[in-house]
A and B are shown apart, each in its own frame.
Chain A
Amino acid sequence: MDPVELSDDRLLLRLPVRADVDDITLACRDLELQRWIPVPVPYERIHGEQWVDDTSRSWADDQELRWVITERGVSNRAIGAIGLHARDATMREVGFWMAPWARGRGVMTDAVRLVCRWGFADLGLGRIEWWANVGNYASRRVAEKVGFTMEGTARARLLHRGVRVDGWCAGLLPGELVEERSGGRPVDRR
């Protein structure tokens, strides 16, 4: 599909460009990010360039709708990334990472909410999935805050740099998105 930008009063999700490569490379060298996200290790500048350059293809063939995250009124620089990966005709999987210098302020929660809202409203998705390596509580907290329900643990389901690891699976269905911001605390909707 044709790329689109998404924005709300706080964030602008835009397409990654070559000017983002330094920020992306620095973020992807963070050990905590590498612990949970299967980016290449060591992460070289060329990896950032390839990821940026692959963006138009990933939109064109619908496989991954991909953005970098920026804060409106603060800076146009990328502080994280988010994407919707194709699973079936009406299901996609959300994936994301945040630069270490931008964590802890609820930015990712807002970005996931923005993307999911758009996915249900504009793409007509029937389900959005979230998968993470077991133990990635930072990612899980984001998913739970926007309304994802933890559904199970699939053993040896994910590949993390050549090692098969257990994966948490969660799902978000139309109408389940938590629109209000919670001040950074997990929301228990049950």
Chain B
Amino acid sequence: MTARTGVSTLRKTPEVRGEGLVLGPWRAADAARVLEIATDPATRAWSPSMRPLNTEADALTWMSERTANADRLDWAVRDSASGLLIGRVGLHRFDPGCRSAEIGYGVHPAHRRRGVALRAVTAATTHAFTTLNLARISLVHATGNSASCAVASAGGFAFEGVERSSLDHGDGVRHDMHRHARLATDAGAVPRIGRTPVAINAGDLALRPWAPEDAEQLLAAVADPLIARWNPRLPLPDIDAARGWLASKATGWAGGEACSWKVVDAATGELRGSMGLRCIDPIDRAAVASYWTVAGARGRGVAPAALTAATEWAFTELGMHRVTLAHVLANEASCRVATKAGFLLEATIRDSCLLRDGFSDEHLHARLASDPRVGLP
């Protein structure tokens, strides 16, 4: 016999940042949008809890009941740029013994097919694993709900079986359901959200995604001896190597592991340097920054400005909490860049970088989303 309980002490709705969206508490002003979600045919079909909603008053009641329910942690999902309500996501059926819960979600009909559900589920699951210390999140859906099945698969929720007649949809029919689950220990199940490369404005500078036609410019820039000295994976010996490097940057965007940009003069488009975020980890909400500046553009604050812009973007758009960077001890210019951009020196890590003349210690710097803002000159 299995013992399960439904006890939870969760009361307050925490704000959780995801990629391009924010999870937060319901507001009375959401009633109209909630009603639009509830009356949509797909919601009617697959979300029985919203079926009784026919008026804005119903929507208000639904929101307040959800918030008051101690066995639920229910979020409104808002677009991080516009603040518009685009969906809902929630955890329920908390099992403190198994440290497990079940996830549910829905997307406003005008915002479907843009990965909202996947990004909201990823943010809520990450919060569940990292902040609530849960070990398992179940995701169940009626067998006919193929959109939900796709979200589960993309989100790293392993398929565990079909439980027949297991879902009470409140329509008098018991539905077959798929059971998926993601465990906090599922190392291979870290969801990777492929991204469309985007540009970032940084005042006089702009961070723009590398393009295939940048190969020659890139090749010339990295021929500089200082770049070669501090970046053992550079220089690039020929144009094919440069094209390969650019292709790997595109793969990083598409696979969700990395984002990288050329840093250019916003007015002229002239190349000033390179900026990258890699090892993007949605579980720990951490990423690693790296950069270099072309020889003729050094000493003008290019790297600190680019690093600041990319890091802010990682906090607000990727939902990252911690961005780190490491530089070999002898690269004092990089240490100054990190310090100017508000990256605290945390440690000296030993023999962590293999340069051409042997292993070198590195400084580990990090900046948290919660760190005070830095004012750049």
A: which residues have CB within 8 A of B? Answer: 37-38, 83, 85, 88-91, 93, 95-97, 126-127, 129, 131, 149, 151-159, 164, 167, 169, 171, 173
Select from chain B the residue with minimum beta-carbon distance to A152: B161
A155 and B2 contact, Cβ closer than 8 Å, known pairs A171-B163, A171-B164, A173-B165: no
Residues B165 and A155 in contact, CB atoms below 8 Å apart: no
Residues A95 and B100 in contact, CB atoms below 8 Å apart: no
- B153 CB to nearest A CB, Å: 16
B41 at the interface (CB under 8 A from A): no
A131 CB contacts on chain B under 8 angstroms = 2
The contact of B1 among A83, A88, A149, by CB within 8 Å, is: A83
Residues A167 and B2 in contact, CB atoms below 8 Å apart: yes
Residues A171 and B2 in contact, CB atoms below 8 Å apart: no
B135 at the interface (CB under 8 A from A): yes
User: Scoring B residues 144 to 181 as 1 if CB is less than 8 Å from chain A, else 0, what string do you get?
Assistant: 00000000000000101111111010000010000101
- A52 CB to nearest B CB, Å: 15
Residues A173 and B98 in contact, CB atoms below 8 Å apart: no
B254 at the interface (CB under 8 A from A): no
The contact of A152 among B100, B160, B168, B174, by CB within 8 Å, is: B160
B244 at the interface (CB under 8 A from A): no
The contact of B181 among A90, A91, A95, A157, by CB within 8 Å, is: A157
A129 CB contacts on chain B under 8 angstroms = 163, 166
Residues A91 and B166 in contact, CB atoms below 8 Å apart: yes
Residues A159 and B98 in contact, CB atoms below 8 Å apart: yes
Residues B98 and A151 in contact, CB atoms below 8 Å apart: no
A155 and B98 contact, Cβ closer than 8 Å, known pairs A83-B1, A126-B165: no
CA distance A131 to B181 in the complex (A): 16
CA distance A171 to B162 in the complex (A): 10
Select from chain B the residue with minimum beta-carbon distance to A97: B1
Residues B165 and A164 in contact, CB atoms below 8 Å apart: no
CA distance A85 to B4 in the complex (A): 10
Residues A155 and B136 in contact, CB atoms below 8 Å apart: yes
B158 CB contacts on chain A under 8 angstroms = 155
CA distance A149 to B176 in the complex (A): 13
Residues A154 and B160 in contact, CB atoms below 8 Å apart: yes
The contact of B164 among A38, A151, A155, by CB within 8 Å, is: A151
Residues A157 and B163 in contact, CB atoms below 8 Å apart: no
CA distance A156 to B136 in the complex (A): 7
B324 at the interface (CB under 8 A from A): no
Most A Cβ at <10 Å: residue of B95, B98, B99: B98
21 A-B residue pairs with CB within 8 Å: A38-B1, A38-B3, A85-B2, A90-B174, A126-B165, A127-B166, A127-B174, A131-B2, A151-B162, A151-B163, A154-B181, A155-B158, A155-B181, A156-B98, A156-B100, A158-B2, A158-B98, A159-B2, A164-B136, A169-B161, A171-B165
Residues B163 and A152 in contact, CB atoms below 8 Å apart: yes
Residues A127 and B3 in contact, CB atoms below 8 Å apart: no
The 8 closest A-B pairs by CB, nearest first: A152-B161, A95-B1, A159-B97, A126-B174, A127-B165, A151-B161, A152-B160, A88-B168
B164 CB contacts on chain A under 8 angstroms = 127, 149, 151, 171, 173
Chain B interface extent, by class: 20 to 34
CA distance A38 to B98 in the complex (A): 13
CA distance A152 to B159 in the complex (A): 9
The contact of B2 among A91, A95, A152, A153, by CB within 8 Å, is: A95
Select from chain B the residue with minimum beta-carbon distance to A131: B2
- B141 CB to nearest A CB, Å: 14
B168 CB contacts on chain A under 8 angstroms = 88-91, 126
Select from chain A the residue with minimum beta-carbon distance to B136: A156
Most A Cβ at <10 Å: residue of B97, B166, B179: B166
CA distance A90 to B169 in the complex (A): 11
B311 CB contacts on chain A under 8 angstroms = none
CA distance A154 to B136 in the complex (A): 10
A157 CB contacts on chain B under 8 angstroms = 98, 100, 136, 138, 181
CA distance A169 to B2 in the complex (A): 11
Residues B160 and A155 in contact, CB atoms below 8 Å apart: yes
The contact of B3 among A96, A149, A153, A159, by CB within 8 Å, is: A159
- B342 CB to nearest A CB, Å: 40
B183 at the interface (CB under 8 A from A): yes
Q: Told that A151-B164, A157-B98 touch, could you supply 15 new A-B pairs with CB distance under 8 A?
A: A91-B168, A126-B168, A127-B164, A127-B165, A127-B166, A129-B163, A152-B179, A155-B160, A157-B136, A158-B98, A159-B2, A159-B97, A164-B135, A171-B166, A173-B165
A153 and B166 contact, Cβ closer than 8 Å, known pairs A37-B1, A38-B2: no
CA distance A140 to B158 in the complex (A): 23
Interface residue ranges of B1-43 to A (CB < 8 Å): 1-4
Residues A156 and B160 in contact, CB atoms below 8 Å apart: no
CA distance A85 to B2 in the complex (A): 9
CA distance A131 to B100 in the complex (A): 16
